[in-house]
């Protein structure tokens, strides 16, 4: 039997059969093959488009594509949320191009227009090609981004019927100059929002307001475009689409595209002999384990890609696997680090497809620009952060007819540990939602200014911008930004462009520029909020997969000077944090305890950093830093317990700080399972006796001014979130706490004190008083899947 036809089960058995590995496999999920379900083309789609699709090999669409087409043609706002490679783009492109084709028959050749938004330029370019393949050339599709030369821009405005751009260009360039776009906007039939799960947190909240500005201008020009959104599979895509657009949305979620059988294994690396912080047991790293598994798979002739976090890890995995093998096989393993020239990428694709190359270790940069579909096996060294990325990476394995193997190798952290022991969190219905909060006044204020600059804001506009808008306007007037005229409308008063005041991808404050000291090259930026902890003087900083050492952080100029480096240690900032409650918006009794949501002020000061050896976590030294405190006004979820509850749970007062701190760490680690955020988006504080609550209190807060919706989401899903947190800690096989449960690599207190057993008892006590409902036990709007869906106010 040729190796490519070996069943994935046999591959997995062979991996497990190696000595001592049997207990590393925590779960095997068999995802059966799914046959294609087709549905006829809607009558309303023009034959030219159907012919174009047929030439690309699509004789009849899949059922979810047809459903999307029908909904789009009826003028509905629709979000298509199906798997990777399920042809989402044909679903929205067919109705869009069909209408644009109708429009070419208008006297001016442009009776209908459509706008396409993608988070990246590369994706927009890819989509333009696709449109050109499907529709005849009289449908004029054109890119409009920062690279479009001025003379071409004029042509795009006047003649293009399908304009492909990104939210930043829409915000900075198109909306402020809407008068020059008036003929385009007048006939705007559709707005396509691709990869909309990427619009989350503060960035997503900004994009939501940009879309409301677009809708307002369209209304003035007499058009009412339907929004067509494409999303990865997430919990409740319709609610996300509604928050993003402010319009009621229908979700298409039933994937009718075919899939080969997939065996998905969950894998936990073994404990090593090393000890880490405070004597904690340390697991073998996911990258080292990936190198071993890659070795065995390649030795068995299996075409495999191992996805890792950094370029350095990609090189390490490839090198280790090469070392483990002899000459001819060793040469068939490579590392992909991104930044390749197009011809190098094509060569890599050819070698993988032909089988000359058997093993590839790669950063997820590979998701952009290299086609490695149709592999026999995919290794994922660590949970990639969202289910969307997980399936995107695992989806690289398998051809239609043939089975494939995917292995998720857990990293040594609470979320990964939880997932490999709770497969239902990955394979049952998605639990993580795309979270954004367009009503955050910090986000909304600059968009109200930009909108007023575009056209004076009338009272009838306020509803569109949500409930925060009306109270903000007088504040903006006080600041001298807006002025109210006698007719009741608000005007922008300044000479400068209002749209320039906001960077959609920033989160307040000057971002710190990362500059290579020797060359002066700008490598990128980090948010001001994260700079003190991530690029302080002496920090080891990972940027786009490369490792740098920070020579100096200059706060005056907001520049971090760095050098490429390969130190044998990582750094962890130490900080002090104080938190005070500014206002409690919602509070629910959980038995004697309580669960709360509201605004807080967080004062954080980075005071030093630790150097830790990479291989073992051993502490090599500590240095002091002299950085000013930073104040953040944001929103938080917090819970309290009473003294009686502590007594009942047998937690003496001297054990409380460690118990609360451990519970805080693990809960921060688990929140990304429910809301698409990462650790930098949220922070936490635990206090044995908080001055505002007068009780033991644990806070988890949004790391951005005004909040980004993560804490609110935690509040709404608190029963499930804290239950998962408790389970993750309780299930960990360590004695006294380790990185898999309660230790955090980002702890500002050097993971001291932590009390694992106390944390389990504390959370158990708290949860005993929690409401019963599994879905949502804390909110007034029972039965509504998104009771806090504030963008849903129409």
Q: Interface with Zn ion by CB under 5 A: which residues?
A: 732, 734, 738, 740-741, 747, 749
What's the min distance (Å) between Cβ of 732 and Zn ion?
Answer: 3
Report whether 241 contacts 79 (CB < 8 A): yes
What's the min distance (Å) between Cβ of 42 and Zn ion?
Answer: 55
CB closer to Zn ion, 170 vs 734: 734
Q: Would you state the structure tokens that stand for residue 568, as one six-digit string? A: 């044998």
What's the min distance (Å) between Cβ of 751 and Zn ion?
Answer: 6
- Which helix (DSSP H) or strand (DSSP E) does residue 123 occupy? helix 121-134
What's the min distance (Å) between Cβ of 611 and Zn ion?
Answer: 18
Question: Where on the phi/psi map is residue 207: left (φ > 0), alpha (ψ -120 to 50), or beta?
Answer: alpha
What's the min distance (Å) between Cβ of 734 and Zn ion?
Answer: 3
DSSP character at residue 379: E
What's the min distance (Å) between Cβ of 737 and Zn ion?
Answer: 6
What's the min distance (Å) between Cβ of 282 and Zn ion?
Answer: 10
Q: Would you state the structure tokens that stand for residue 217, as one six-digit string? A: 């201008």
CB closer to Zn ion, 525 vs 740: 740
Phi, psi values for residue 522, rounded to 5°: -85, 120
CB closer to Zn ion, 7 vs 271: 271
User: Whole-angstrom Cα distance, residue 397 to residue 400?
Assistant: 10
Classify burial at 32, counting beta carbons within 10 Å of its beta carbon; exposed 0-12, middle 13-18, buried 19 or more. Answer: exposed
What's the min distance (Å) between Cβ of 651 and Zn ion?
Answer: 18
**Angle, nearest 10°, between helix axes 8-17 and 286-299?**
120
* Residue 200, SS3 per DSSP: coil
Q: Which residues contact 704 (CB under 8 A, 6 or more apart)?
A: 201, 202, 442, 507, 508, 529, 632, 634, 681
What's the min distance (Å) between Cβ of 683 and Zn ion?
Answer: 10
Query: Which of 674, 706, 669, 695 is CA-nearest to residue 684?
Result: 669
Q: Would you state the structure tokens that stand for residue 609, as one six-digit string? A: 């950093």
CB closer to Zn ion, 82 vs 667: 667
What's the min distance (Å) between Cβ of 152 and Zn ion?
Answer: 53
CB closer to Zn ion, 280 vs 291: 280
Residues forming beta bridges with residue 594, ordered by sequence position: 589, 640
CB closer to Zn ion, 52 vs 669: 669
Phi, psi values for residue 626, rounded to 5°: -115, 80
Peptide bond into 721 cis (omega under 30): no
User: Whole-angstrom Cα distance, residue 324 to residue 318?
Assistant: 10
* Residue 271, SS3 per DSSP: strand
CB closer to Zn ion, 153 vs 736: 736
User: Whole-angstrom Cα distance, residue 687 to residue 645?
Assistant: 16
CB closer to Zn ion, 242 vs 277: 277
Q: Would you state the structure tokens that stand for residue 737, as one six-digit string? A: 């706490």
CB closer to Zn ion, 687 vs 734: 734
User: Whole-angstrom Cα distance, residue 259 to residue 393?
Assistant: 15
The CA-based angle 454-458-459, given to 5 degrees, is: 145
Distance of CA 309 to the CA centre of its chain: 15
CB closer to Zn ion, 34 vs 736: 736
CB closer to Zn ion, 407 vs 732: 732
What's the min distance (Å) between Cβ of 429 and Zn ion?
Answer: 28
């Amino acid at each position: 039997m040729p190796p490519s036809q070996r069943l994935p089960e046999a591959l997995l058995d062979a991996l497990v059969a190696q000595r001592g590995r049997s207990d590393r496999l925590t779960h095997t999920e068999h995802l059966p093959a799914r046959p294609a379900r087709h549905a006829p083309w809607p009558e309303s789609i023009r034959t030219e488009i159907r012919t174009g699709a047929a030439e690309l090999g699509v004789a009849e669409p899949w059922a979810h594509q047809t459903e999307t087409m029908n909904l789009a043609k009826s003028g509905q706002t629709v979000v298509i949320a199906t798997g990777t490679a399920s042809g989402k783009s044909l679903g929205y492109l067919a109705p869009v191009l069909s209408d644009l084709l109708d429009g070419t028959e208008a006297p001016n050749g442009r009776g209908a227009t459509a706008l396409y938004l993608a988070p990246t330029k590369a994706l927009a370019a890819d989509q333009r090609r696709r449109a050109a393949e499907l529709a005849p050339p009289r449908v004029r599709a054109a890119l409009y981004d920062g690279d479009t030369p001025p003379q071409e821009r004029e042509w795009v405005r006047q003649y293009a019927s399908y304009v492909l751009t990104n939210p930043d260009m829409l915000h900075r360039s198109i909306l402020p100059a809407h008068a020059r776009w008036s003929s385009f906007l007048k006939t705007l039939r559709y707005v396509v929002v691709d990869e909309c799960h990427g619009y989350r947190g503060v960035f997503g909240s900004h994009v939501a307001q940009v879309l409301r500005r677009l809708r307002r201008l369209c209304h003035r020009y007499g058009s009412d475009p339907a929004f067509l959104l494409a999303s990865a599979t997430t919990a409740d895509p319709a609610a996300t689409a509604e928050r993003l657009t402010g319009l009621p949305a229908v979700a298409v979620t039933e994937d009718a595209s075919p899939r080969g059988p997939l065996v998905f294994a969950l894998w936990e690396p073994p404990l090593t002999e090393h000890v880490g912080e405070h004597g904690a047991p340390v697991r073998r790293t996911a990258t080292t384990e990936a190198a071993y598994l890659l070795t065995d798979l390649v030795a068995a002739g299996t075409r495999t890609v191992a996805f890792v976090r950094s370029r350095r890890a990609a090189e390490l995995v490839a090198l280790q696997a090469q070392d483990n093998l002899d000459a001819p096989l060793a040469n068939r393993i490579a590392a992909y680090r991104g930044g390749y020239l197009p011809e190098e990428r094509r060569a890599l694709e050819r070698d993988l497809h032909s089988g000359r190359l058997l093993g590839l270790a790669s950063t997820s940069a590979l998701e952009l620009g290299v086609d490695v579909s149709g592999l026999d096996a995919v290794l994922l060294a660590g949970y990639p952060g969202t289910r969307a990325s997980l399936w995107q990476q695992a989806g690289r394995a398998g051809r239609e007819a043939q089975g494939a193997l995917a292995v998720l190798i857990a990293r040594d952290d609470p979320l990964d540990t939880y997932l490999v022991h709770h497969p239902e969190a990955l394979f049952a219905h998605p639990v993580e939602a795309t979270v954004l909060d367009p009503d955050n006044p910090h986000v909304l204020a600059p968009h109200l200014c930009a909108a007023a600059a575009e056209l004076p804001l009338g009272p009838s506009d306020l509803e569109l911008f949500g409930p925060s808008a009306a109270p903000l306007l007088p504040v903006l007037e006080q600041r001298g930004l807006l002025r109210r005229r006698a007719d009741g409308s608000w005007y922008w008063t300044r000479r400068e462009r209002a749209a320039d005041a906001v960077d959609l991808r920033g989160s307040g404050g000057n971002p710190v520029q990362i500059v290579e000291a020797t060359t002066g090259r700008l490598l990128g930026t980090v948010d001001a909020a994260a700079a003190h902890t991530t690029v302080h003087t002496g920090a080891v900083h990972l940027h786009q997969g490369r490792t740098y050492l920070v020579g100096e952080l200059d706060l005056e100029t907001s520049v971090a000077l760095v050098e490429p480096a390969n130190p044998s240690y990582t750094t962890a900032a130490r900080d002090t944090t104080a938190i005070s409650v500014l206002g409690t918006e919602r509070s629910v009794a959980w038995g004697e305890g309580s669960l709360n949501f509201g605004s807080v002020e967080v004062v954080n000061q980075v005071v030093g950093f630790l150097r830790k050896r990479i291989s073992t976590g051993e502490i090599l030294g500590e240095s002091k830093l002299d950085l000013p405190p930073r104040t953040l006004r944001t929103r938080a979820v917090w819970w309290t317990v009473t003294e009686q509850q502590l007594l009942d749970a047998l937690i003496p007062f001297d054990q409380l700080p460690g118990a609360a701190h451990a519970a805080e760490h693990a809960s921060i680690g688990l929140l990304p399972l429910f809301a698409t955020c990462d650790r930098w988006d949220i922070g936490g504080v635990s206090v044995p006796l908080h001055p505002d609550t007068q009780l033991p209190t644990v806070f988890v807060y949004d790391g951005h001014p005004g909040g980004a919706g993560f804490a609110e989401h935690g509040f709404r899903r608190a029963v499930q979130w804290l239950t998962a947190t408790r389970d993750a800690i309780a299930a960990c096989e360590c004695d006294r706490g380790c990185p898999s449960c309660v230790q955090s690599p980002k702890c500002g207190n050097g993971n001291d004190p932590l009390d694992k057993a106390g944390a389990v008892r504390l959370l158990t006590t708290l949860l005993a008083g929690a409401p019963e409902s599994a879905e949502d036990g804390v909110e007034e709007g029972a039965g509504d899947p998104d009771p806090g869906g504030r963008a849903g106010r129409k």
